[in-house]
Amino acid sequence: MPGKAKILIVDDDEDYCASTRALLENEGYEVQEAASGREGLAAAESYNPDLIVLDIMMESPVEGYTVIQALKHRDEYANVREIPVLMVSSVQDDPTSLFPMAGEVEMITPDAYLTKPLDIPKFLEYVRNMLGEEAG
Amino acid sequence: MSAQLVEQTPIIVIDDDETMRRACGAALGRAGYQVETFADGPSGLKRIEQVRPGLIVVDLKMPGMGGMEVIDHAKEIDRDMVVIVITGFATVSTAVEAMKAGAYDFIPKPFTAEELRVIIARGVERHRLALEAKRLRAEKEAQARKFVTFVSHQLQSPLGAVRQYLDVLLHLMGDDVPEQQRTWIRRSSNKINQMNAIIRDWLTLSKVEAGQLATQRCLVRWPELVAEVLEGHALATEAKQVTLHSEVPENLPPVIGDPPALKMLLSNLVSNGIEYNRAGGRVTIRAAVDTRTVSLLVSDTGVGIAPEHQDHVFEEFYRVVGEGAERTSGTGMGLPICRKIAEELDGEITLTSRPGQGSTFTVVLPRGPADTPAEEFPDDVPIGGA
């Protein structure tokens, strides 16, 4: 059986990081945290996770989106482009309604989207699916 | 001093008497005002429409379109426009009538240039103050909205973190924790949900009040929304053992509205219908049309609402506590939000209810244009509203 899957959590809220990390480690995943968009992009490259859990807002409204836009569209991150991204947010809307500029929506659609606080069973199911694992 | 009184837009003078026009133009011109004069209502109003003056002078007695009619049209163009009327000396009562119609002041003929300037100056000041008040009100509203948005996000964030800690705690350690303590953790988590619900509703309410919620206007087809909302409540119905039924015909004429806001409205009504129901009860959705409106009726077989409460259920934070109505987990803001959404869309929500016999909430909205005559009055839809 292959080694544990690696998950990168990018979120500046240490409480969410702590509880989400505990949840994932309990499932047997290896977890690393990044507390900002910049750290997140650097960690994507150096840690090379199998999944990224990315907070939408962080310090500024566009920080999360900047990360995903870079990961999916900028040439310098081409080698980590295939890493699936699960976006989480405490804003109760979906990304398309936050940024209704038609052109940009295409660029910033994550692979999946969940609201905080996390619905634990749903979150774990999404993680398993995005890692290509069978249901537990 | 005169320079300060000069408006940014010209003063428009409407008077059929050429001498009057020229004299007014001269008197006001000397005080530094820009003046444009017109011989009749229609031409004056056309210009008013173009330049949106802050102040106009209108002769009450004119052939063709009279002064009163000009005032009506001018006020339709801009409610804040200051109107000064010129009256004959024997028509002061007409002047009073004019003021009731919206004129700010009147000046009886004959008058001196100085008398005219004094009245105009007062009118200009009046206009300035009205605009200032309007600006301050808008600023105050914008600040209130910013405050609500900011506070609600600042509150939701830590609440979310706490709830996630509690949920993960339960998930990771649940089996090691005694039953009673496990219940405490679950109840704490629920309380946090309640707080979040109140904050979200507060935010929603403030958006509706600012006219920011139901902003789109497009054709909305109730049958589609009903299907979505009923599906979304499937879990809740299981929990309360209530069944949902739709008798809304597929060919119901569309309404003019904002889709997400109407979805929220319907969802609120259906939630209430489930929440305030008895075990084994039903929630039924029906529709009716008339020439101008489409009505959607959401009925439940719950405890009903006593007459003394019916007047108040649409008030914010109003909770019905009484026989049969156990303390439910709602925030008291669902119905006020629904009503505001309906009103924002030029519609209304009404309630019919009898204690012990359930309640029916009727949402009436303007109907959109029909595509075909057949769509206009489908056979199977009751006419006239239930």
pLDDT tens, B23-42?
999 999 998 999 999 999 99
pLDDT tens, A47-58?
999 999 998 766
CB count, 10 Å around CB of B334?
23
Residue indicated by tokens 């050429």: B18
Q: pLDDT at position B386, please?
A: 46
Edge to edge, the sheet with strand A6-10 lists A30-34, A6-10, A51-55, A85-89, A112-115
* φ/ψ of residue B323, rounded to 5: -60, 125
Q: pLDDT at position A53, please?
A: 94
Q: In 3-state terms, what secondary structure has residue B224?
A: helix
Lowest mean pLDDT among B99-108, B177-186, B366-375: B366-375
Contact criterion met (CB < 8 Å) for A13 and B157: yes
Q: How many Å apart are CA B206 and CA B366, to the nearest integer?
A: 24
Q: Residue A98 above 70 pLDDT?
A: no
Task: Name the band, by pLDDT with cuts 50, 70 and 90, for residue B283.
Answer: very high
B241: alpha, beta or left, given left = phi > 0 and alpha = psi -120 to 50?
left
Task: Name the band, by pLDDT with cuts 50, 70 and 90, for residue B331.
Answer: low
Residues 6+ apart with CB under 8 A from A96: A105, A109
Q: Residue B325 above 70 pLDDT?
A: no
Nearest residue of B to residue A116 by CA position?
Answer: B160
Count how many pairs of residues, chain A against chain B, have C-beta atoms within 8 Å.
44
Q: Which of residues 195-214 of B touch A (CB under 8 A)?
A: 200
Task: Name the band, by pLDDT with cuts 50, 70 and 90, for residue A136.
Answer: very low
3-state secondary structure chain A: CCCCCEEEEECCCHHHHHHHHHHHHHCCCEEEEECCHHHHHHHHHHHCCCEEEEECCCCCCCHHHHHHHHHHHCHHHHHHCCCCEEEEECCCCCHHHHCCCHHHHHHHCCCEEEECCCCHHHHHHHHHHHCCCCCC
Q: Residue B238 above 90 pLDDT?
A: no
Average pLDDT of span A7-22:
93
Q: pLDDT at position A102, please?
A: 40
Q: Which two tokens stand for residue A33?
A: 């945290």
Q: How many Å apart are CA B339 and CA B268, to the nearest integer?
A: 11
Q: Which two tokens stand for residue B303?
A: 């405890």
Please state, rounded to an integer, the average pLDDT across all residues of chain B.
85
Q: What is the ipTM of this complex?
A: 0.85
pLDDT tens, B123-137?
999 999 988 998 998
Residues in A closer than 8 angstroms to B160, CB to CB, are: 16, 90, 116-117
Please state, rounded to an integer, the average pLDDT across all residues of chain A.
81
Residue indicated by tokens 């990168």: A8
**Pure H helices in chain B:** 2-5, 18-30, 41-51, 67-77, 92-100, 113-173, 179-209, 222-232, 234-240, 259-275, 307-310, 334-344, 373-376
The residue extents of the domains of chain A are 6-130
CB nearest to B160's CB, from A18, A23, A90: A90
Q: Residue A89 above 70 pLDDT?
A: yes
Task: Name the band, by pLDDT with cuts 50, 70 and 90, for residue A97.
Answer: very low
pLDDT tens, B87-145?
886 667 877 888 888 899 989 888 999 999 999 999 999 999 988 998 998 888 888 87
Average pLDDT of span B271-278:
86
Query: Could you give the C-alpha distances from A51 to A29, A57, A70, A104, A111, in angstroms and in order?
Result: 10, 19, 16, 23, 10
Burial of B166 (0-12, 13-18, 19+ CB in 10 A): buried
Query: B9, B101, B16, B21: which is closest to B48 by C-alpha?
Result: B9
Q: How many Å apart are CA A42 and CA A33, to the nearest integer?
A: 11
Residue type, A36: S
Q: pLDDT at position A51, please?
A: 94
Q: Residue B219 above 50 pLDDT?
A: yes
Instruction: Report CA B366 to chain centroid distance, whole Å.
Output: 15
Contact present, B32 and B4 (Cβ < 8 Å):
no
Lowest mean pLDDT among A17-21, A60-64, B356-360: A60-64
Q: Which of residues 149-188 of B touch A (CB under 8 A)?
A: 153, 156-158, 160-165, 167-168, 171-172
Least Cα separation, residue B190 to chain A (angstroms)? 13
CATH of A6-130, one of 3.40.50.10470, 3.40.50.2300, 3.40.50.720, 3.40.50.300: 3.40.50.2300
Query: B1, B17, B78: which is closest to B45 by C-alpha?
Result: B78
CB nearest to B168's CB, from A23, A97, A116: A23
Task: Name the band, by pLDDT with cuts 50, 70 and 90, for residue B321.
Answer: low
Position with higher pLDDT, A56 vs A119 = A119
Task: Name the band, by pLDDT with cuts 50, 70 and 90, for residue B247.
Answer: very high
Residues in B closer than 8 angstroms to A22, CB to CB, are: 168, 172
CB count, 10 Å around CB of B384?
9
Position with higher pLDDT, B192 vs B198 = B192
Least Cα separation, residue B171 to chain A (angstroms)? 8
